[in-house]
Amino acid sequence: MLTGHYTDVEAEVPALAGARATVRWLISKRQGAPHFAMRVIEIAEPGGAIPLHRHDYEHEIFVLEGTGRVLEPGSARELVPGDFVYVEPGEEHGFENAGRTPFRFICVIPDPS
């Protein structure tokens, strides 16, 4: 069993060009999880964003803190703590901090490593 606190995991800058966010890989193959990765993503600055992009795998999102938006081509939907999002494989998506405090969410994906 693995336990810990998310702040004990180093925050990394995503490889995605233009992303103004950090990601903490809490659970992945590095920790022995064979199928999925769980990450905490934070967009700290107001107006910061992860631009529109797509992957060939699904995403499950759960909002922990702050006010944000999930972006899709031509529209955006507001998100608050307790909201969830399912992003289908291949679906174009992004995220934006729409508030004055950090926007933080859990993102679970099939481990791409």
Residue 1 lies in a domain: no
Contacts (Cβ under 8 Å, ≥6 apart) of 78: 67, 68, 69, 98
pTM: 0.94
* pLDDT value at residue 50: 96
Q: Which two tokens stand for residue 101?
A: 């405090």
Domains in the chain, number: 1
* Residue 27 domain boundaries: 6-110
Identify the pLDDT of residue 18: 87
Q: What is the pLDDT of residues 32-79, one digit of tens each?
A: 999 999 999 999 999 999 999 999 999 999 999 999 999 999 999 999
Question: Does residue 62 form part of some domain?
Answer: yes
Is residue 15 over pLDDT 90? Answer: no
Strand partners, 65: 104
pLDDT at position 16: 87
First to last CA, the chain: 21
Dist CA 47 CA 45 (whole Å): 6
Side-chain-facing half-sphere of 27: CA atoms under 13 Å: 17
The CATH number that applies at residue 103 is 2.60.120.10
Q: Within a domain: residue 54?
A: yes
